[in-house]
Amino acid sequence: MAGTIKLESNTKCFGGNQKVFSHLSEELKCEMKFAVYEPPQLAAGPVPVVYWLSGLTCTEQNFITKAGGQQHAAKHGMLVVCPDTSPRGCNIEGEDTDWDFGSGAGFYVDATEEKWKNNYRMYSYVTDELPNLIAANFNVTPGKSSIMGHSMGGHGALVCALKKPGQYLSVSAFAPICHPSACPWGIKAFTGYLGTDKNVWQEYDACSLAKSYSGPPLQILIDQGSADNFYNQKQLLPEDLVSASTDNRNVSVVLHMQEHYDHSYYFIASFVGQHFDHHARYLNA
């Protein structure tokens, strides 16, 4: 049944529990998996929640097995939720053809193109269905949510925070795709999911959203490795987001360029503690 979650695995970790669940998604019309880290503080009462959005080709497993984030979540008493990156097994022609489009590459948009629009609704899944599922099944503190992500998931985190003012108290990203309307990955995904009208693309472009954002003050923390091949190939364009936010006093971008770091989870693991510290300033205030 939709709304019912099934425990798939449970492993003790840093005094808490790393779990994986499955459920039938109403938005995506398929079975989905998501990971939840329950900090030890959950035993004593409600805790804030941080959503992690992963990048291209990833599943709910990448962050929980490679980032080492559980120790920081345990330190700060945060529930961490990691959804998959796309619908799976929808029997859509071409869904498994490319690594950067279709399965594993939902781009956190609600597709409007006929072929994809019934299943590829990752934006609504992440910002609506999944939070409702978490609230119904876990003892989380109302109004205490933050979001972060990596690469395509960094794009997703930025878009969710900018499109849903006030839903997330803080946002951060590792090597995010900041200007998808102007990079090859984004152009391919937006054309496929949203069509050729570039005005529609702006609804899921962090640079455009940062210019028009009028919600509560939002400080965006970004870490970017200087040795990241995708950064050097102009897929990520974080400087564009810094420029886009310059004239909006409600949005500030703190961009840390990390010398010699690449796009991998070694990079994420090196700085993920600082991101949890960033979110703790807002969630535990």
Tell me which residues are annotated as active site: 151, 228, 263
How far from the centroid of its chain's Cα atoms is residue 188's Cα?
Answer: 19
Residue 183: CB atoms within 10 Å: 20
| CB contact at 8 A, 208 and 127 | no
Of 259, 251, 254, 249, the residue nearest 274 (C-alpha)? 254
Token digits of residue 155: 């794009």
Helix (H) or strand (E) run with residue 76 in it? helix 70-76
Of 265, 167, 282, 174, the residue nearest 219 (C-alpha)? 282
**CA 30, CA 182: separation in Å to the nearest integer?**
31
Angle (CA) 143 148 152, round 5°? 135
How does DSSP classify residue 180? G
CA distances, 110 to each of 83, 118, 210, 271 (Å): 16, 9, 19, 31
Helix (H) or strand (E) run with residue 132 in it? helix 130-137
| CB contact at 8 A, 257 and 266 | no
Please classify residue 214 by burial: count the beta carbons closer than 10 Å to its beta carbon, then call 0-12 exposed, 13-18 middle and 19+ buried.
exposed
165 phi, psi to nearest 5 deg? -55, 130
